Every structure is written in C-alpha cells, then in structure tokens.
A = this chain, B = another copy of it.
C-alpha cells in the first residue's frame, strides 16, 4: 500500500541481508531484474527517506523504519502464500508469484482477517516464518539439508527453497511438502544422488521411493528425527 517499487527493494534487501555484511547493488539488481544504475538511483531515494543506510560502493542495510516496512511486506506475502495454498488450494509452485502481486494490494484489515481464518500460522508453505502483527518472528527450528542425512536416517521436511517454480512443481509431483517424513534409502557416491522414501499422509499409510539429485537434496531442509 506504500509504493510497489520501494516495497520490492526493501523486501530484497531484507531477504538478502546476513548479519555483518551489507547487501550489494548487484544482488538487488539481479533479484529485481533491473539495471545497476536503477538500483543506485533508488537506493539514494530510500536513504534520503531514512529507510536504509547506504554506503556508496559498499552496499546497504535496513534502518528501523525500513525494517518495519520490510517486515510488514514479508508478513503480507507469507500470509497470502499460506492462504492461497491451504484455503484456495493453489499449487505450491504458483503461490509465490501470486503473493508477489497481492502483497502490495491488501489492507491490514484483510491480512489480519486471513491470518485469523488460518488460525495464526507460524510458517508459510515453504517453511519460512510469518511475522506477527507486531513484527515478531517465530523461532525457526534447526534444520539440515536432506543431502546431509546419512543412509537410513529420516527427517520431517521443515523448509524448502522458494526460488525456483520448477523445483517446487517437481516436489509436488514427488509428494514432498512441509512436515512430510523422508528417509534416505541409498546414496550413490558417484553423483551424490539419493534414493529416498517419502512417507504418505497418515490415512494412506503408504510410502513411495524416488530418486533425486544432490542439487534437489540440498534445497530441501529437514529436522533430524532418529536413526533406524
């Protein structure tokens, strides 16, 4: 509701910041698909509004006000993703791009109502934390990439990378979603691909075996459960 472009810049800065190191212009330009010159322009505007700290040639980080706006946007984004997935029934691979638009066009009243309907969820369908009305993030549970599980270990899916639609679409085909239990049956050391067993939903009690590449396994994060 603020300004679509500025909100998008703030979200990218938020999502790409890691303590200690500034977010560079190139990273922002890449994620938003605009030129570096456009980024420099916008960073100057955001800095003038005291939303970010901008150190020329070095990068930026969010200031208090910018952080609040970014978290509000992330909240809108993740609540929409959760609603689209759980209530509307859109496929996981579609919710990000849809939420990308809706997040800029929803009143706080609407977002709060969606949150209420969902029962105040803590995580979105990718396993990312949903900020509360006050901007507080739930604690993330500790997770490791599926690629690091040993053979015969199993874990529940805690988070999946939300960067690629193709990746998410394939996960859906394999029956992989949040909380699903996965066991590593076999590791082929030639290419580090895995044979995994995806446990089905309770009612069906079945399991399915699938082969996945190392790259896939590196983008699925599981909570270690137990040896077997």
Contact = CB atoms under 8 A, between A and B. Distances in A.
Contacts of A94: 107, 109
A106 B117 contact: no
A1 to B, nearest CB: 8
A87 B102 CA distance: 17
User: Which range contains the number of A residues in contact with the other chain?
Assistant: 10 to 19
A137 B173 CA distance: 38
Contacts of A104: 105
B113 A89 contact: yes
Contacts of A202: none
Interface string A83-125: 0100011100010011001101111011001100100000000
Contact of A110 (B88, B106, B113): B88
A114 B83 CA distance: 12
B105 A101 contact: yes
Contacts of A98: 106-107, 110
Contacts of A110: 84, 88, 90, 98
A106 B113 contact: no
Contact of A88 (B1, B90, B102, B117): B117
Number of copies: 2
A98 to B, nearest CB: 6
Contact of A113 (B90, B109, B114): B90
A80 to B, nearest CB: 10
Contacts of A88: 110, 113-114, 117
A204 to B, nearest CB: 25
A111 to B, nearest CB: 11
Contact of A106 (B1, B89, B101): B101
A101 B107 CA distance: 9
Interface in A56-93: 84, 88-90
A1 B117 CA distance: 27
Interface of A: 1, 84, 88-90, 94, 97-98, 101-102, 104-107, 109-110, 113-114, 117
7 contacts: A1-B101, A88-B113, A90-B110, A90-B113, A94-B107, A98-B110, A102-B105
- Top 3 nearest A-B pairs (CB, nearest first) are A101-B105, A105-B105, A102-B105
